[in-house]
Amino acid sequence: MVNATAVLPTLPSKHWLRGTAPTTRFSLRGNAAAQQLAGQALGLTLPVEACRAHSAGERAALWLGPDEYLLIAPLIEGEALRAQLAAALAPTPHSLVDVSHRQIGLELYGPHASWLLNAGCPLDLGLAAFPIGMCTRSVFMKTELLLWRKDADVFHVEIWRSFTEYFTGLLSEVARELPG
């Protein structure tokens, strides 16, 4: 049986879009004590500043709300990480849900990445307004997504798996205006 979280939908071949490696994702809800314990198990400090992401190697924690985080790690670490998090969080109230099956990660990169996203996203994605390390939920046209600016010209996009074709199709239409 094929693990659905490991199967990436077919993406258009573009010089500004790529799929990310298969990933484990957990939605974590909990107070400051739960956040500290989860961070220790994950091997990084969870961000306390709104709309920020912290990463260490291939693991990341994205702040989604005062008590809500998206935790990301390589797929191969999924079961072991779930067990580590569950053991670490056992003494404190929390919610830890594996959402790996729900969404996929994409990267938009290159000098036109923010321009492509701004064609359908209402946020100001200029570097001054949306600096490296910032993350937030938003929309692209009618598609809900999570944006994380990893570098000046690199955006990590988390999108529900069922919207991948719609999202990449819209981006491809927008990209027709790019030179060359």
Q: For the chain, which domains are there? A: 13-175 (3.30.1360.120)
Closest residue by Cα to residue 4 from 98, 122, 143, 123? 98
Task: Answer whether 116's CB lies under 8 Å from 90's CB.
Answer: no
Q: Is the pLDDT of residue 11 over 70?
A: no
Most distant CA pair in the chain: distance in Å?
57
Closest residue by Cα to residue 102 from 169, 56, 161? 161
Q: Is the pLDDT of residue 129 over 50?
A: yes
What's the pLDDT score for residue 14?
78
Secondary structure, 3-state, 103-162: EEEEEEECCCHHHHHHCCCCCCCCCCCCCCCEEEEEEECCEEEEEEEEECCEEEEEEEHH
Closest residue by Cα to residue 98 from 72, 60, 133, 67? 72
Mean pLDDT taken over the chain: 92
User: What is the per-residue pLDDT across 39-98, written as a single tens digit (0 to 9) for each?
Assistant: 999 999 999 999 999 999 999 999 999 999 999 999 999 999 999 999 999 999 999 999
What's the pLDDT score for residue 10?
61
Task: Answer whether 42's CB lies under 8 Å from 89's CB.
Answer: no
pLDDT band per the 50, 70, 90 thresholds, residue 13:
low
Closest residue by Cα to residue 105 from 157, 70, 66? 157
* Residues sharing a CB contact under 8 Å with residue 96, sequence separation 6 or more, in sequence order: 26, 27, 28, 29, 38, 82, 85, 86, 89
- What's the alpha-carbon Rg for the chain, to the nearest Å? 16
